[in-house]
Amino acid sequence: MGNLLKVLTREIENYPHFFLDFENAQPTDGEREVWNQISAVLQDSESMLADLQAYKGAGQEIRDAIQNPNDIQLQEKAWNSVCPLVVRLKRFYEFSLRLEKALQSLLESLTCPPYTPTQHLEREQALAKEFAEILHFTLRFDELKMRNPAIQNDFSYYRRTISRNRINNMHLDIENEVNNEMANRMSLFYAEATPMLKTLSNATTQFVSENKTLPIENTTDCLSTMASVCKVMLETPEYRSRFTSEETLMFCMRVMVGVIILYDHVHPVGAFSKTSKIDMKGCIKVLKEQPPDSVEGLLNALRY
């Protein structure tokens, strides 16, 4: 039991040491309403990732059009290639808005009195699992986005073409699908290195500012507790042996990194200060003990 108690270097007795069942947690009657609401959002997450992974972009068509500005056929080919891609990018952006609302619902459930964050996570494991699934999706999405420069290239070409046509008083059908206001919001979203994490960070900050009667510690302690639980499960052989697959191990690492980043954005002094309730050295040590290829993206996410 000794290792289980050594969660952090400070206030050891106050830190959680329980197993959070990321594989099998099922909702209780008290969790079910919120769980169903979040589940309806998460059921689309895998198709979003598959769609993003399959995103090839219209780089060649755009290059051909730019190099041959007087060739109408090449201009049309580039435009016809980019438009359906922009519709896909809109779908990803709209999913981020659904995710934002889902996260705020979960935070409401996992931070409300009279229970402490540790009690919430231990009692409401199905909601904690959904929180983890949101973070897991977010980091996977951002890893794929960071490796795909075509996304910003395609969208930049789209915006330049729309602006040019607006100057010429032309209205294109695509503007009914992605109007100027939507394009502006999408542009800000895709300009971020990690757009989904930025969305979650903003959602968490907004949750804190809108719930002024709720101490900020309720939210930050929820995040630091989740990070601590993940770290303990990763570094404790007894807990690790309960994972049935390597994917669950990866899941746990992504979740740990995700909550650290959220904590860093929301907490007044951040995750890396000496007064932080997250053992950053311990968390990074756990990551560095894994094969470098599998954790490079996670370590990069912490550096941003």
pTM reported for the whole predicted model:
0.87
At a CB cut-off of 8 Å and minimum separation 6, what does 114 contact?
Answer: none
Instruction: Name which of 95, 92, 64 is nearest 78 in CA terms.
Output: 64
In this predicted structure, the answer to whether residue 66 has a pLDDT above a threshold of 50 is: yes
Please say whether the beta carbons of 139 and 258 come within 8 A.
Answer: yes
In this predicted structure, the answer to whether residue 5 has a pLDDT above a threshold of 70 is: no
In this predicted structure, the answer to whether residue 89 has a pLDDT above a threshold of 60 is: yes
Please say whether the beta carbons of 65 and 82 come within 8 A.
Answer: no
In this predicted structure, the answer to whether residue 293 has a pLDDT above a threshold of 90 is: no
Query: pLDDT at position 243, please?
Result: 85
Distance CA 251, CA 236 (A): 16
Query: pLDDT at position 11, please?
Result: 39
Distance CA 180, CA 163 (A): 10
At a CB cut-off of 8 Å and minimum separation 6, what does 101 contact?
Answer: 41, 203
- Both tokens of 190, joined, read 């895709």
How many other C-beta atoms are found inside a 10 Å radius of the C-beta of residue 280?
A: 18
At a CB cut-off of 8 Å and minimum separation 6, what does 16 contact?
Answer: 7, 118, 121, 122, 225, 228, 229, 232
In this predicted structure, the answer to whether residue 268 has a pLDDT above a threshold of 90 is: no
Radius of gyration for the alpha carbons in the chain, expressed in angstroms and rounded: 22
Distance CA 181, CA 190 (A): 14
In this predicted structure, the answer to whether residue 109 has a pLDDT above a threshold of 50 is: yes
Give tens-digit pLDDT for 10-49. Answer: 333 455 566 777 888 899 999 999 999 999 999 999 999 9
Distance CA 270, CA 261 (A): 9
- Both tokens of 123, joined, read 């009692």
Distance CA 149, CA 155 (A): 10
Task: Say how many domains are in the chain.
Answer: 1
Question: What residue numbers bound the domain in which 170 lies?
Answer: 2-303
Query: pLDDT at position 7, please?
Result: 36
- Both tokens of 290, joined, read 């894994």
What is the pLDDT confidence band of residue 4, given thresholds at 50, 70 and 90? Answer: very low
Return the axis-axis angle of helices 195-210 and 216-235, rounded to nearest 10°: 140
At a CB cut-off of 8 Å and minimum separation 6, what does 222 contact?
Answer: 107, 110, 111, 117, 120, 121
Give tens-digit pLDDT for 143-178. Answer: 999 999 999 999 999 999 988 876 555 556 777 788
Instruction: Name which of 91, 77, 94, 92 is nearest 157 in CA terms.
Output: 77
Distance CA 130, CA 41 (A): 10
Per-residue DSSP letter, 245: S
- Both tokens of 128, joined, read 């904690």
Query: pLDDT at position 299, please?
Result: 84
Average pLDDT, the chain: 87
Query: pLDDT at position 172, please?
Result: 62
Query: pLDDT at position 12, please?
Result: 39
Per-residue DSSP letter, 70: T
In this predicted structure, the answer to whether residue 1 has a pLDDT above a threshold of 70 is: no
Give tens-digit pLDDT for 194-220. Answer: 899 999 999 999 999 999 888 888 899
- Both tokens of 259, joined, read 């909550």
